[in-house]
Structure formats: C-alpha cells, structure tokens
Amino acid sequence: MSLLTIRNLSVDFEGARAVEGIDLDVGQGEILGVVGESGSGKSVTMLALMGLIDAPGRVTADEVSFDGRDLLHASARQRRNIVGRDVSMIFQDALSSLNPSYSIGYQIGEVLRRHMGLRGRALRDRIVELLEQVEIPDAANRLGAFPHQLSGGMNQRVMIAMAIACQPKLLIADEPTTALDVTIQAQIMALLLRLQRDHGMSLVLISHDLAVVAEVAHRVAVMYAGQVIEVQQVPALFDAPHHPYTEALLAAIPEHNRGVRRLHTLPGVVPGRDDRPAGCLLSPRCPYADEHCRTVQPKLEPYTGPTAVGSPRVRCFKPLPHAAGGLAGGAAGGLVTGGAQ
C-alpha cells in the first residue's frame, strides 16, 4: 500500500522550472533512494512536499496525498498537524538547521510540546529518551547544551532525535551525512536504518552516494534536470539500467580493478533555464538520441522489456534492454549487496 503519492508535481521560481512532472510513490515501511546530480531537484521536491517552498516559488500538482489525506489542498493548520508529526525531514546541514540561541533540549521539546502536548517531567523524560535512542552519551546532562558546543555528528543526531520525536510514519533524510567524515557517516546511516526498522517508518533517502543507496534502499528514483527519469528496484537498477543517464552514472563509478578503463563522461552540461531542449532533456548529450527524442518530450512510463524486474518506470523512447552491457560495462559490479534487508 502506498503511504505517499505524488503526481505531476512541479515547482517554479519566477519562470524557472526547478522541478517538473514528478511522479513518486513510497510504500509502507519502504526505503526509497533518490539520486541525481546537485541541482537535479531532489531537495526541492521534498521541500515542496513539506510545504517549505516560499515565494516566489510556486508549487503545482495533480495529487499529493499522504496516508490517504490530501496534502495538496490542505489548509495551513491541517498541514501543520501532519508535517512534523507524521512526516519529518532531516536537513543537510544540522548546524545551520538548529537555532544557535536555544539549547538542544529546548528545541527537541518544542516539537513534543507542539505535537504531543507534553509538559514538565514527562517532557524531560521523553527528550532524554530520544537523545539516548540516537546514541548521544550522557544524555541527561546534554539537555542544556547549545549546538555550537557539539560536534557535527552530534548535531546531526540531535536533528534525527527531533525528526523521530513524534514517531513519524515517513522520514525524509536529505543528504544526512553531508560534511561528516566517513566514520561518522557510517554511524549515522546505521542509526537511521536501525530507527527505520524499530519504528517501521518509511524512509526517503536523498543522496549523491550510489553505494549507500545500493546498500540500504528497496527502490531508487533517478533525477535529472528536475525530472524523475527512472524508478527501479535494488539491485535491478544497478544491474540493468534502462535510462541512458542512469547508465552513464553507473559508468562513472570507479571500478574495483584500479584503472583498467577510463571513467565515462557525458558531453555537454545539464540544461539550464534558458537552454532547455524541446524534447528529452538529455537528448543533446545522449548517444542514442534521434530527431524524435529531440522534438518530443517522453513521459515516465512502465518498462516492460526483457530485463524488467518488479514494476520499473523510465522516461525514454529508447529504454536500454541490456543488463549493464553498454556504457556501464559492469561498473556496478560489487556495488550492490542485495539492497535493504
């Protein structure tokens, strides 16, 4: 059953389209990875879902529903009763997301006071419990600490504690390990996965790191220039990409055999505000594009070719039928260990 449904979501900023025609579903207890280059629209899509796109941004959609409730036409009050309680988000930079003027205990408590109505001893006990859940040592004595007194990893744990305070059904993690060293990154990812399993949450993981997504996600949505261009299960996406852009991403993964071949690169650049092609947005860079690709924009449609696993969808007139035999050339080999367990 789908917990979150998004249909034809677009976001514009003064005539510049940042996100276009997004279709996404997240199932109960599912981990969906969202990958793509910087500027591809990953974060903007989720900020639109959370209602955090300010003017001059404009959000349009055919449907945005969560757990059977219409978010698209919900009033500000109705949305506030859902966002922060049933849907929570962890932002990229914990230090800039926390208020430097308030202690971490106060900031976590604000969520609990607003959504759970907790006060007094019950509030304090719940804050300590949350800090212990995210593995902050000596939690009871950290309530009065300010963000600048904690490390980057500890601040990210505080953000996670705030996000799970009301036991949300959906947690959105936007590059949750940005600016952390690799050891702390691994700890934060392990923590998120443990909390996801313990609470039975659905998780949307936005990441640049294909290896992390391959390790933890059930499905992956690939974004390019503001569009979702492919959705597939793990490990099928890494074994048999159907979109040329996904194939190129995998071909850019350094192989484990240390320099046997040069890494693949796509010619050109991602289209901007003033140079978006009439047809497929990848067509100026795609080795398979023809005149039809350059003049008609493809839709995100089910893929039913020979390598289809599950219910993949791809935005391409010439979806790739082979199993990692093109540009990727098996570059994803060893990357996937079976997806989330």
Rounded-to-integer distance, Cα 311 and Cα 304, Å: 8
Lowest mean pLDDT segment, chosen from 164-168, 235-239, 332-336:
332-336
* 21-45 mean pLDDT: 96
Rounded-to-integer distance, Cα 45 and Cα 227, Å: 10
Can you name the CATH fold of 84-200?
A: Rossmann fold (3.40.50)
Using DSSP, state whether 340 is helix, strand or coil. Answer: coil
What pLDDT, on the 0 to 100 scale, is given for residue 219?
A: 97
Which amino acid is residue 86, in one-letter code?
D
Q: Is residue 49 within 8 Å of residue 64, measured between CB atoms? A: yes
Q: Please determine, for residue 115, whether its predicted confidence score (pLDDT) is greater than 50.
A: yes
Rounded-to-integer distance, Cα 300 and Cα 212, Å: 25
Listing DSSP states for 154-209 in one string gives HHHHHHHHHHHTT--SEEEEESTTTT--HHHHHHHHHHHHHHHHHHT-EEEEEES-
Q: Which of 44, 39, 72 is nearest to 57 (CA)?
A: 44
Rounded-to-integer distance, Cα 130 and Cα 202, Å: 19
* 184-205 mean pLDDT: 93
Lowest mean pLDDT segment, chosen from 211-220, 281-290, 301-310:
301-310
Q: Please determine, for residue 255, whether its predicted confidence score (pLDDT) is greater than 70.
A: no
What pLDDT, on the 0 to 100 scale, is given for residue 323?
A: 39
Confidence of residue 92 (pLDDT cuts 50, 70, 90): confident
Which amino acid is residue 214, in one-letter code?
A
Residues 6+ apart with CB under 8 A from 175: 43, 92, 206, 207, 208
Confidence of residue 324 (pLDDT cuts 50, 70, 90): very low
Q: Cα angle at 270 between 267 and 273, to 5 degrees?
A: 140
Confidence of residue 95 (pLDDT cuts 50, 70, 90): confident
What pLDDT, on the 0 to 100 scale, is given for residue 258?
A: 54
Using DSSP, state whether 104 is helix, strand or coil. Answer: helix
DSSP state of 273: T
| Position with higher pLDDT, 280 vs 1 | 280
Domain ranges of the chain: 84-200
